[in-house]
Structures are given as C-alpha cells and as structure tokens.
C-alpha cells in the first residue's frame, strides 16, 4: 500500500513538473493547453495541476474514484506578472465513492473562466469531511463561473469566493456562483462576492431528504447583484442566511422553502442601502421561520414574505429603517402562524422584531 501511495503521488506531481502546459513555462504560452489526471482506487491519492494564467482556453481535469483520503488541487494562475490572467480557462474535478475527498480550485480569471467540482457518495473519514473550495481571485473579473455539486455526502462543505481577501478592492461584474447539495446531512454552502461589484449572481440549492444543512451568501459593496437560495424536498432543520453590506444598491435576495419543517431563512441588508428587494416563499412547510432586516437609513427597499400551502406554526418577522420602504407578509392556510413587523425599527432595537416562547425574534 505504501508503495502504491508513493507511486501515485509522485506520478501526479511529476506530471505537473514535466508537462510544458504547466507552471514551468517561464514566459507563458498562447493558451489551449490541456492536462488530465485520473486516479482510481487506493488510498491517500494526491493530484495537483498548475497552468499558466496568461493563456486562452486552458483545460485542467482531475478524476478520483473509490479511494480514501484523496486530494485534488487545480491552479490556473501564477501571478508572476501584470498580464498573468486566465481567460476562458476550465477547471474540472470529479470525485466519486471516496472517503474524505477534498477539492480546491483557484484562478485569477479575467473573463469567461469556469470552475466545476462534483462530489458524489463521499463519506467522512475520521474527523475530516468532504470539501470543495473554489476561488476566482481577480482585480478585474468578469463573466467567471463557479459550479459545485455534492450528492449523498455527510458533513460536507462548499466554499466559493469571487474577489480578493481585502473587501472593496476589486471591480467584479457578471460573475456567478452555483452550489447544489442533494440528500445531504450536516453540510454547508458558503458563497462570497467581495469587492466593488455589480450584476453578480449567487445560487444555492438544498434538495432531497436531508437535515441540519446551512447556506450562507454574502455580497459586499455591490450594485445589481442577486442571491437565490432554495430548500426543497423533505428537508428539516436547515438554515439560509443572506447578507448584503452597507451601501448596496438595487440588489435582490430571494429564498424559498418547500415541503420541509423547522427551517430558518434570515435575510439582512445593512444600513444605508437603497432600492433593494428581499423575498421569501415558504410553501407546504411547518414551524419555519422567515426573518428580514433592512438597517437604519435605508430608502426605497421592499420586504416580502409569503407562507402558503397549509402547514402550521410558521413565523414571519420584518424590520426596516424608515423612508419610502415597503413590508409585506402573507400567510394563507395553516394553524398557529405568527407575523411581526417593525418599520423605523425601534421597539427593542437594534434589529427588533420578537415574540420569544413561540419564537420569531431577532434584536
């Protein structure tokens, strides 16, 4: 087994060092490079791919099946000079039937780059769970895409970031992040768009039978961005959090829950935002909570919560700063539903709402 592990790891690393399509190209090339690694069976497999970022249409592909503790890393950038940007590059990782798979993708995509990670039927190994990390790190990123799909995993995570580590330092537009988890338990999706961005989209979906999952979406200093989160199927005790920071303009947050129980949707737009929209739909669900908050000094914003299809014990809470804002709650059918609205916030401030024993809250 030790011999196999060593052989596999060395082979993966040697491929990265020997191929001219990888990072050793001193000056970069004209693009259209292609690199593929396939690993099946065994344990402790490692696959790494590095491609120059100054080409057009480079392709990197890793496939890992039926092994234990596998790791896959793809990088389409070196950041060696001011023009080292990936354009139209594609990074793909497929991991199936593994114990503890990790996938990491990074590029400094300047246009039309696509990252795709698919993990199916992977399990926790020891204390370490299956994970996907995707980063598009660019000062001027546009039309880049991150896709992640996890199916039938336990305790897995997806982390997607477009932008750099310093908030507000990038100009990002028309980028998209999509994460899908199906039949998951105790899993997480985290999506962040960072920088002076506009017209970006985040979409996260939890489907099938599952429990204890969470979705977190964050957009910083943005205009015209959209966040969408969906929970469908007999999925319970899940949480959706959508956050848009101070100074956001014309952004949209949309969340829906269908046929689940004890789920929470929490939407927040910070003070000073304007012309933003928050919308939550809860259908055929019970004991779900939908909370919406728009901070002090917001202008021309709207909040809408719609709870339909029967169910029982559903709760809705809205809090808004004052000045031409609209808040609307609709509850149709069901038993023991609750609705609380605070415009101008006050009451218990800073995020107001409340009730307590029967839930709702915020403050």
Residue 357 lies in a domain: no
DSSP state, residue 177: E
Low-confidence ranges of the chain (pLDDT < 70): 1-31, 53-55, 78-85, 109, 122-128, 138-140, 164-171, 195, 221, 246-247, 271, 310-311, 321-322, 343-363
Residue 108 lies in a domain: yes
Residue 362 lies in a domain: no
Helix (H, G, I), strand (E, B) or coil at 296: coil
Residue 323 lies in a domain: yes
Q: Identify how many contiguous H helices and E strands the chain contains and give both numbers.
A: 1, 28
Residue 282 lies in a domain: yes
pLDDT, tens digit (0-9, with 9 covering 90-100), for 215-254: 999 877 678 889 899 988 888 898 899 887 766 788 898 9
Cα dihedral: 318, 279, 135, 121 (round 10): 100
What total of structural domains would you count in the chain? Answer: 1
Task: Give the domain extent around 67.
Answer: 2-343
Helix (H, G, I), strand (E, B) or coil at 6: helix
Residue 151 lies in a domain: yes
């Amino acid at each position: 087994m030790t011999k196999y592990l060593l052989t596999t790891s060395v082979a993966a690393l040697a491929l990265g060092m020997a191929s001219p399509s990888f990072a050793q190209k001193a000056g970069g090339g004209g693009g259209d490079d292609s690199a593929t690694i396939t690993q099946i069976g065994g344990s402790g497999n490692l696959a790494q791919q590095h491609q120059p970022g100054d080409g057009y249409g480079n392709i990197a592909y890793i496939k890992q099946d039926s092994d234990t503790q596998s790791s896959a890393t793809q990088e389409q950038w070196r950041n060696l000079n001011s023009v080292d940007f990936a354009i139209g590059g594609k990074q793909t990782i497929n991991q199936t039937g593994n114990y503890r798979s990790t996938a990491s993708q990074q590029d400094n995509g300047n246009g039309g780059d696509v990252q795709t990670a698919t993990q199916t039927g992977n399990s926790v190994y020891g204390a370490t769970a299956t994970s996907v990390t995707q980063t598009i790190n660019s000062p001027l990123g546009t039309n880049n895409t991150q896709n992640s799909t996890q199916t039938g995993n336990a305790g897995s995570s997806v982390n997607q970031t477009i932008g750099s580590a310093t908030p507000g330092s990038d100009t990002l537009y028309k980028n998209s992040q999509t994460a899908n988890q199906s039949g998951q338990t105790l899993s997480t999706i985290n999506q962040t768009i960072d920088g002076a961005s506009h017209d970006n989209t985040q979409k996260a979906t939890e489907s099938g039978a599952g429990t204890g999952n969470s979705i977190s979406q964050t957009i910083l200093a943005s205009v015209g961005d959209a966040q969408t989160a969906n929970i469908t199927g007999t999925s319970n005790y899940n949480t959706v959090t959508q956050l848009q920071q101070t100074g956001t303009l014309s952004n949209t947050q949309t969340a829906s829950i269908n046929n689940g129980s004890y789920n929470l949707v929490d939407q927040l737009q910070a003070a000073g935002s304007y012309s933003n929209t928050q919308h939550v739909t809860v259908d055929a669900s019970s004991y779900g909570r939908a909370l919406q908050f728009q901070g002090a000094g917001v202008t021309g914003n709207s909040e809408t919560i719609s709870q339909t299809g029967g169910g029982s014990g559903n709760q809705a809470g809205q809090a808004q700063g004052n000045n031409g804002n609209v808040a609307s709650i609709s509850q149709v059918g069901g038993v023991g539903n609750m609705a609380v609205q605070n415009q101008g916030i006050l009451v218990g401030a800073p995020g107001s709402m409340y009730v307590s024993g029967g839930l709702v809250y915020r403050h």
